[in-house]
Every structure is written in C-alpha cells, then in structure tokens.
C-alpha cells in the first residue's frame, strides 16, 4: 500500500510538470484535466443538497434528555432511498463467501482462481482474486478443498452439509484520519520522521513509524445474528423469523436486521471496495466512498426539506386524511397491525418524504456513524456537526454507544420524530435496527 501511494505521488508530479511545461505563455491556467467532471447518479440513491436546519426536538422531550435546539449546516451528500435490504446485504455475504472460497481453491489451482501477473507481465504480490472463473460447488475436488468453510460433521443437522457462518470473516483497512490529524502526530520535516504515538485497535499506544501506523486493520464476522429475534423478547414466539428472515426469498425486500454497528461499517467498506474495483476495471478514477450517515446528516435528510416538523411527512399526526397510519410502528398498546404491519415490512411500503427517502420513520431504526453523548449538542460544531469516537476494547460501555435514529416497528410514535435521538451499543445486534449508506458529493452538479 505504501509503494502504491508513493508511486501515485511520483506519477502525479510527472503529470504536473508535463502538463504545465507548455501552458498559455506562462499564464496561470491550472493543470490540464481530461475534461469537466460530471458526478454519476449512484444507483438507488437520492441527492440531498446542502442546507441548514434546526437540529433537535420539534416537540417536548419525554426522555428528559434536555437536548437543545441548534441551527446547523450540512454539506451535500447522496443517501440510499431505502434501508439496506436482506437481499442487498446477502450480496455482501456471498462476496465474502466466494472470496474465501477462491483463496482456498487457489492453493491448488492458482491459474484458475488467482491473478498473479498484471497485463504487462509484472508479478502481483499478493495475487488478486480471479472473479472470472465460476466456482463449481458440486465438483468433488472443490468440495474437499472447501471443507473448511462448512460445519464439521458433529455440528450438522441430519448430516446436511451447510456453510459455517462463523467462517465468513471480512477483512478491511481504513485510515484513522482523526489520529493522523493531531498536531503531535504530524510529520517533522526537519527530523524527517513522525514523532508522535498512535493507538492501535487493541488500545496499545505505539510509536508512529510512518503512514502505515494510521492504517487500521479490521476483521468482522459478516453474517447477521438471526437469533436476535429470540434474544430480544422473552416469552414471545419468534422462532420462524429467526430461522427464515434473512435467507428466505419472501423476505428479500425487507430491511436487514441483526447487524451490529461494526458490521454496518464493514458493509460500507465492502461497498466502497466493490464499486471502486469496478471503476478501476473500466479505467476510471476510484473516488467512491460509502459510509454511515452522521447524526446531523440523517436528521437533515429525514426532515425532507420541512422546517420544524415532528415527522418526515410534516404535521403532528401519524395518520393521513383517510385515517391511515403513515409509517410502520406500534400505534396502539398491544396492537401492532393497525398500520398494516406487525414486525418489519417491505421497504418503500409507505410514501417517501420530500427528498424521496422511504422509511425515515419506523420499520427499523438506523445506525449512524456518530457516537452518543447526552451533551453532544452543547459542544458539536455548527458546520457538518458530528461526534465520533473509536471505542477501544477496554473502554467502558458508555463509550461504545452509537446514535440510532428513526424508530422502529416496536416503538411508539415519539421515537419516530425526526428530532428524537437514542442509542445502542456498537457490538450489539437487534431485530429492530438496520442501516442505510450515504456518500459525500463532489461539487455542485445538482
């Protein structure tokens, strides 16, 4: 990664000198580009133009959190029109499964499942996965090579061979820009080295050896916790959802649940890699970066352009003029079906808000990238406000809280309000929490 980064810098310098050596008789005209950039519309996303809004409760705060109301501004971004569905998340799970399978098969058949040389014949170390070769899961030799991905015989039900979800681990890297931005961690040009220290993911403080010290390596189990349907509710029969919700095609268009904050973040990293790899194969620049929304971005998008509204659809009521409920939540004590749903429902079943976003209230609550603190509104900045904290393993539970927004199928109307904030712990999976992705915009094309 270091070599690639340095090569990119050197290549950019060569291009700069080549482009500026003969430019308009010495006039300042900028670097020669390939043409004006037009940002393509991401599939399944809608554009949220920058703006300011009053962030915070639009009605009484029954939790007594006493969150103030502040005027803040957020930059333009793209947001998924719906929550990530089971079928969309399954693409991530299958990609992890297939990538692990190709690594195992490549140990005995590298020519078919790995790419060891580039187009010029230069070696690629480590080899890349060859996605052009289709995996024949029924071929006897392949089944032997892939045995490690399956449950061992003692764990099989009626001897049926099944993939072990605990083997589906996604490894990804990210740059800790927060630590890199600290003044004490800056590069010293006089000493020609970094002089600060950095915390790794285990909470150990180590000297900075270079750019690689800010590159964090994560390994995350990607399969949803399907048992959350049973674990979340005592004295309730939810076994059918636990055994069918994620894999059965009847639930393909339902929001994925049982996903921790860490898994949601890993999904964003995979989606970024998946998109950028496609762009690279087409000879385009890799600039797409998907992530979870900040708390402020989520609320701004949920309001749909309406000022001081309690709900994404405006007004102070949860019914329309015909008396029909406008979201999937718990409308009456003990009665979950008056809104035409019981637990989760298909995404986009209810009308979108003014920005074309579905289910910003109800169905499932949604993870944000923001850490939760009761006093966040008192110290956050008013431009792109956000509070993040990378909790370490030994940190107390209070530091592992992440903001969730929007309310869910099990919540009363108060939690559906656009200004209501609550939290869940980053390593917990619930049957009522999902997520959607955002992507920062480049310029003002829309």
Q: What are the pLDDT digits (tens) for 217-260? A: 999 999 999 999 999 999 999 999 999 999 999 999 999 999 99
Residue 177 lies in a domain: no
CATH number of the domain where residue 293 is located: 3.90.1580.10
C-alpha 397, offset from chain centre: 22
Stretch 111-136: mean pLDDT: 89
Domain extent for 386: 36-84+257-446
* pTM for this model (two decimals): 0.90
pLDDT at 23: 52
Asked, for residue 296, whether it belongs to a domain, the answer is yes
pLDDT for residue 15 is more than 60: no
Return the closest-CA partner of residue 200 out of 184, 181, 216.
Answer: 216
Q: What is the reported pLDDT for 139?
A: 92
Percent above pLDDT 70 for the chain = 91
State the average pLDDT over residues 179-206.
89
Categorize the per-residue pLDDT at 74 as very low, low, confident or very high, splitting at 50, 70 and 90: very high
**Whole-number Å distance between alpha carbons of 340 and 71:** 36
Q: Looking at residues 146-167, what average pLDDT do you find?
A: 91
Look at residue 65 and tell me whether its pLDDT is greater than 70: no
Query: Is there a domain that residue 420 lies in?
Result: yes
- Say if 149 falls within a structural domain: no
Whether residue 408 contacts residue 230, with contact meaning beta carbons closer than 8 Å, is answered with no
Is the residue at 352 inside a domain?
yes
Is the confidence at residue 138, as pLDDT, over 50? yes
What mean pLDDT value characterizes the chain?
A: 89
The closest of 26, 436, 33 to 271, measured between CA atoms, is 436
In a domain, 328, yes or no: yes
Q: What is the pLDDT of residue 446?
A: 54
Does residue 267 belong to any structural domain of this protein? Answer: yes
Band of residue 8 on the pLDDT scale cut at 50, 70, 90: very low
Domain count, the chain: 1
Q: Do 113 and 133 contact (CB within 8 A), yes or no?
A: yes
- 7 pLDDT higher than 70: no
- The arithmetic mean of pLDDT across residues 16-28, rounded, is 58
Question: What pLDDT does residue 16 have?
Answer: 40
Question: What average pLDDT does this structure show over 421-430?
Answer: 96
Least confident range from 26-35, 295-304, 381-390: namely 26-35
């Amino acid at each position: 990664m270091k070599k690639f980064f340095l090569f990119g810098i050197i290549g950019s310098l060569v291009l700069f000198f080549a482009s500026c050596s003969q430019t308009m008789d010495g006039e300042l005209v900028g670097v020669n580009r390939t043409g004006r950039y037009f940002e393509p519309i991401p599939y399944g996303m809608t554009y949220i133009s920058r703006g300011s809004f009053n962030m915070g409760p639009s009605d009484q705060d029954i939790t007594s959190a006493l969150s103030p109301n502040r005027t803040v501004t957020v930059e333009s971004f793209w947001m998924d029109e719906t929550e990530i569905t089971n079928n969309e998340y399954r693409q991530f799970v299958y990609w992890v499964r297939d990538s692990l399978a190709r690594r195992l098969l490549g140990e005995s058949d590298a020519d078919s499942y790995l790419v060891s040389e580039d187009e010029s014949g230069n070696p690629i170390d480590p080899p890349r996965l060859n996605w052009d070769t289709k995996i024949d899961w029924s071929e006897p030799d392949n089944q032997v090579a892939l045995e490690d991905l399956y449950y061992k015989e003692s764990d099989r039900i009626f001897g049926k061979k099944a993939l072990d979800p605990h083997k589906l681990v996604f490894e990804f890297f990210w740059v800790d820009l927060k630590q890199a931005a600290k003044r004490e961690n800056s590069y010293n040009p006089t000493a020609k080295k970094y002089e600060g220290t950095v915390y790794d993911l285990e909470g150990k403080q180590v000297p900075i050896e270079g750019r690689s010290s800010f590159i964090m390596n994560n390994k995350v189990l990607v399969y949803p916790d399907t048992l959350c349907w049973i674990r979340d509710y005592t004295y309730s029969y939810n076994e059918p959802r636990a055994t069918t919700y994620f894999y059965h095609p009847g639930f393909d268009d339902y929001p994925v649940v049982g996903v921790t904050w860490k898994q949601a973040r890993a999904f964003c990293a995979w989606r970024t890699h998946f998109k950028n790899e496609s762009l690279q194969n087409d000879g385009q620049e890799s600039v797409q970066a998907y992530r979870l929304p900040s708390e402020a971005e989520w609320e701004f998008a949920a309001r749909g352009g309406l000022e001081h509204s309690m709900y994404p659809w405006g007004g102070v009521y949860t019914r329309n003029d015909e008396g029909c409920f406008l979201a999937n939540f718990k409308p009456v004590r003990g009665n979950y079906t008056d809104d035409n749903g019981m637990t989760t429902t298909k995404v986009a079943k209810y009308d979108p808000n003014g920005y074309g976003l579905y289910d910003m209230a109800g169905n499932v609550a949604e993870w944000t990238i923001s850490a939760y603190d009761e006093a966040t509104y008192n110290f956050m900045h008013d431009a792109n406000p956000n509070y993040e904290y990378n909790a370490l393993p030994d940190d107390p539970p209070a530091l592992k809280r992440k903001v969730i927004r929007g309310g869910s199928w099990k919540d009363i109307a108060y939690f559906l309000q656009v200004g209501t904030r609550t939290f869940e712990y980053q390593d917990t999976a619930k049957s009522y929490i999902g997520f959607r992705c955002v992507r920062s915009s480049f310029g003002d094309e829309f």
